[in-house]
Amino acid sequence: MTELFGLFGVMWWLDLLLVGACALLAGAGLGRLVMRRQVERALDAVHRRCWQAQDDWLAEHEARLHGLGAEADRLKALVQEAESREEALRREIDASRASHRQAEQALCQQLLGLDRQVAAEREAHRREIGALRDQTGLMRAEITQLLGLIEEGDGARALLQKQLAQAHAQAQPRALRRDVEGARAGVAARPLLRGTGVTGTGAASELDRPEEAVIVGEAAMRAPAALQRGSDSPPPDDLERIHGIGPATQTWLNRRGVWYFRQIAEWQAGELRWLARHLPHVGHRAGRQDWIGQARVLAGLARPPQERRVRVVPLPPGAIDRRVAPAGAWRRVRA
């Protein structure tokens, strides 16, 4: 034993080294233990923070999930309400479609009935139009016959008047005959001036006299130029627009080839004399009513006569009022 301690005593520095090494080893182990404990404490703190954050996140998400569940319940209620409304709307749409179908069927039946009624009315109108056309043809034929009879009567009348005039000319002196013709011309001219509405004084022209004064001789008369219409000819003018021409006169003129205003506008005194002799009843009006001037205006060859207003001046006291219109009235006369 002594030898052993002596050995260690001799090698004391080795003991110190061993003790130092053991101390170093112990210190390193303690340091590692301390560091390990610090790391464990840090890890525990991190773990606690993680668990705390996880708990907060879970709580927050649980709250969100609870809110989402309530929102989902509200949406489910809204969806159920929308579905109920949709079902009600579907029922209303089905009912309206059924009513529309019924209305369409009723309208279709009404339209079919109206179509049948219109077809029947059209057929009846066609029959009536055909009957009217037949009657019109018959009436035209009768009018043509009547016009022929009137022409024959006018010819016979003119012949009788001529014979009567010759008889009167042989029976009466020339002076008396001139007085009678002048009186007849004056009497026939007065109502014409009064009917035209033209005021003022002036001698009447040869065309404004009655038939007996217009017709001077057979050599001065000539028939109006006739115009043959073809398929490409323009439609005839409405000659009734001329004052003094009626339906019968227009038919009479058309039969003699007078269809347009420009034809009448080209007439001269010879045509008017011929009309006065051959046109039944109204031939002597062609000059007095100025058919040529009216035709020129309607054909666009002349301007319409302008009108001016004339103030009727009151007469002095004691003067005889021979005017047609009363004093103080306004009248329109041709310029």
Q: What is the DSSP string of 185-224?
A: HHHHHHHHHHHHT--S-----GGGS-HHHH---GGG--PP
CA triple 316-332-260, angle to 5 deg:
150
pLDDT digits (tens, 9 = 90+) for 69-99: 888 899 999 999 999 999 999 999 999 899 8
| Residue 230 identity | G
pTM above 0.85, yes or no: no
Residues 172 and 299 in one domain: yes
Q: Highest-confidence range of 102-116, 135-149, 174-188, 255-269, by mean pLDDT? A: 255-269
Structural domain boundaries enclosing 151: 140-193+204-314+326-334
- List the structure tokens of 287: 């000059």
The C-alpha R_g of the chain, in whole angstroms, comes to 65
State whether 53 and 150 are in the same domain.
Answer: no
Condensed to tens digits (0 to 9), the pLDDT of residues 191-242 reads: 333 333 333 333 333 334 433 333 444 446 888 888 888 888 899 999 999 9
- Same-domain check for residues 189 and 286: yes
More confident site: 322 or 17: 17
Report the C-alpha gap between 25 and 10 in whole angstroms: 25
Distance CA 158, CA 152 (A): 10
> CA–CA separation, 14 vs 19, rounded Å?
8
Domain count, the chain: 2
97 belongs to a structural domain = no
Same domain, 174 and 282: yes
Query: Which of the listed residues 36, 59, 82 is the one where a domain comes to its end?
Result: 59
Q: Which tokens hold the place of 140?
A: 């035209």
For position 294, what pLDDT does the model report? 93
pLDDT given at position 319: 66
C-alpha separations of 145 from 135, 140, 252 in Å = 15, 8, 12
**Structural domain includes residue 121:** no
Q: Locate tokens 């021979």: which residue?
A: 322
Q: Per the domain annotation, does 209 fall within a domain?
A: yes
- Domain end call among 59, 79, 102: 59
Residues 263 and 151 placed together within one structural domain of the fold? yes
Q: Which of 42, 59, 76 is the last residue of a domain?
A: 59
Q: Taking 70 as the threshold, does the pLDDT of residue 16 lie above it?
A: yes
Q: Specify the pLDDT at position 170.
A: 66
Q: Give the mean pLDDT of the chain.
A: 76
- Does 260 lie in the same domain as 148? yes
Render 108-160 in DSSP notation, one character per residue. HHHHHHHHHHHHHHHHHHHHHHHHHHHHHHHHHHHHHHHHHHHHHHHHHHHHH
C-beta of residue 221 within 8 angstroms of C-beta of residue 274: yes
Q: Assess if residue 101 is contained within a domain.
A: no
Kindly state whether residue 161 falls inside one of the protein's structural domains: yes
Domain-located, residue 180: yes
Sequence-ordered list of residues with C-beta below 8 angstroms from that of 221, at least 6 positions apart, any chain = 215, 270, 273, 274, 277
Same domain, residue pair 32 and 177: no
Domain co-membership, 54 together with 144: no
- Mean pLDDT calculated for residue range 41-68: 89
54 found inside a domain? yes
Which tokens go with 116? 């049948």
pLDDT digits (tens, 9 = 90+) for 281-326: 777 888 888 999 999 999 888 777 665 555 566 666 766 666 554 4
Residue 262 belongs to a domain:
yes
* Same domain as 163, residue 36: no
Between CA 324 and CA 199 the distance in angstroms is 9
Question: In this structure, what token pair is assigned to residue 329?
Answer: 């009235």
Based on the fold, state whether residues 218 and 308 are members of the same structural domain.
Answer: yes
Q: Please tell me which residue, 154 or 267, carries the higher pLDDT value.
A: 267
Least confident of 151-155, 255-259, 317-321: 317-321
